[in-house]
Amino acid sequence: MPYLKTILGLMGLTNVSFMNAQPMDMAGPEVAEQVLEAKIAEARDAGAKF
């Protein structure tokens, strides 16, 4: 992700966090939905702290 952080930094976005939502394709749709829901909750928590 260093490349993306560099590009975003050039645009003035320096406080950047990344969340990995894997496995989305290999574990089946049920697991993918659970992972996605967990990561959405994590993103909401991170946004609330921002």
pLDDT per residue as tens digits for the range 1-50? 789 999 999 999 998 888 888 777 777 888 888 889 999 999 999 899 87
Nearest-angstrom CA–CA distance, 2 and 43 = 20
pLDDT at residue 7 in the model: 95
pLDDT at residue 23 in the model: 74
Instruction: List CB contacts of 48: < 8 A, sequence separation 6 or more.
Output: none
pLDDT at residue 43 in the model: 92
**Nearest residue to 32 (alpha-carbon basis) of 42, 43, 21:** 21
Nearest-angstrom CA–CA distance, 30 and 23 = 11
* Cα distance between the two ends of the chain: 21
The answer to whether the predicted template modeling score (pTM) of the entire model surpasses 0.85 is no
